[in-house]
Structure 1
Amino acid sequence: MKNVGMKAESYRTAIATGILHAPPHCIELLRLGNTEKGDALKTAKIAGILAAKRTDELIPLCHPLPIYRADVEYELFESHVVISAVVETIGPTGVEMEALTAVSLAGLTLYDMLKPHCEAEDLCLDQIKLQKKKGGKSHFTRALKESLSVSVIVLSDTVASGKKADTAGQNVVEILEEANFSNIAYQVIPDSPEQLLSLIEEQKNQYPLILTVGGTGLGPKDLTVETLQPLLKREIPGLMEASRSFGQKRTPYAALSRGVAGYIDQTLVITLPGSRQGAKESLIAILPALVHLFDVQNNIPHAGGYQ
């Protein structure tokens, strides 16, 4: 199975349809609910709903998901019936297969209940397809439409002195590159409030986004938050709330991160943890919001073309 452990949960919907071709007298039996096995439409509706809830047991590589809504509806015509299924969830992956499975099983149930009333060649289940899906990366995009520059500042005495390689900051850079950020300024400095303040002062109106990596914990030299929070003119607490919530589901240590986010002049500054996994989880959690902020709202002016 595909690993979806690092995907953020979102509200997801899928709608699928299919067509069952049948003789006109069979369509009338459906309309009246009068096949020899009973009301076929009602029975097939239940079958479709159950199929949506059990899709992970029927299709080997599908993930089990909490199904918050599953429904099957019909539209009857002279010689065919259109079957529609809608499935909704909040999860890390979509419900397309659940909707398609619901249509398939509902159609097969109708087929089974109509076959005593006609020849086998008179029935045909056809055109089962996905009509619409919403949620996840197709709806909450994780890549900018137009590239933006960004600064990444890693704070670590051991990395700055060459005693340890930087993995957290480099991973942040990789994620930003995948999200269509470009001209990434990457620098490593010691755990020094003075050097951090100097860099922020230098860069604060040159980049629309500055990410710091490190100094958000509770160690004696973890002073990134104390250094930057007084400079924030407009905080965005929801960004760090989302990061901590996402991280807390993966490690209980996420609750110890004191990261903050907000604007210093015209630049959005976000503080990420210094561990590779912590920085990765935090950035993944807020990336769709950042893309939305810079791509859709587009309401933060910047010198050099950022309008």
Structure 2
Amino acid sequence: MDRFELAWAAGFFDGEGWANAVAQEGRKTKQPQARINQADPNGVPEVLLRFQRAVGGLGRIGGPYVMEGRDDLYWWQISSRGDVELLHHFLLPWLGQVKLHEFAVALERPSAASRPCGTTDDWRAWAAGLYDGEGSVYLLDHRTHDNYHLAEMCVTQCGRDTLAPEVLRRFAEIAGVGHINGPYAQEEPYSPVWRFKSAAWSDIVVVLESISPWLGPVKQTQAREAREVIESQPPLPRGNPAWGNRKTHCISGHEYASARLRPYLSRGKGVPPRDSHQCLVCARQQARVRRLQKKSVVDDDHRPLSETSAIYLLK
């Protein structure tokens, strides 16, 4: 068996699979099972066929389950103790702790401990499997430039812990870019959602190129289409002439060039700050307010009871 394909299968199972002991009709005891569901309107999903090949032809593929308004559902499944034990053995080096615990429950044995990830090829193959199951690259409309698009990468996982799911933390470590957001509460009985995201196109390219040798055709096509759109757009000019270090007026409308009343006098390095560094009109107004407030506090005891504070301060 190909080690990299097994690592990919472990990542895909971490994202989409489950294992448990299932009570079946006509049996007195629960039977170990493992299953992966995938929806596809065009027939049996290629990722299920690839997973079956990766684990040596183990299991069977069923479906479709048809429901109006939804894509047809297919599944890969094994339902014997021997097959579940064999699958556990195949995927053990890369599986996350959540799925290892599920196998332990299904097989009624202590759970194995997940292993720390690395940046070797087999771990990048694992990341590609997780991305094939839970990841995507999509386009967003630019908020200020019409007909201009931005790309975003996202990998989603559910988890009830206060710490982000282990598989997302692994993916972020392998990617070396991006960040994890969450949790986002869902209606019961659904678990809160966590998301790994990367929005800089240069970072997205780094991740895609890292995992592309093992990425499935659906996500390869999705990434290629996003890349064609992003790289066909002209570069946007950086900044707004009315703001940043080129702005001429503060937010209150004061002109920087005429705000200075006295020539600049150095109190340090001798380098005059740019005019837009601070509005001196606003600074003088704020200083006056502070002086009046301080005077009000210090002199309040000397004010006659018949005299209001406003009249006293105007003296």
Q: Relative contact order, CA 8 A, sep 6+: which one is greater? A: 1
Larger radius of gyration: 2
The structure carrying a bigger strand percent of its residues is 1
How high is the TM-score relative to the length of structure 2? 0.19
How high is the TM-score relative to the length of structure 1? 0.19
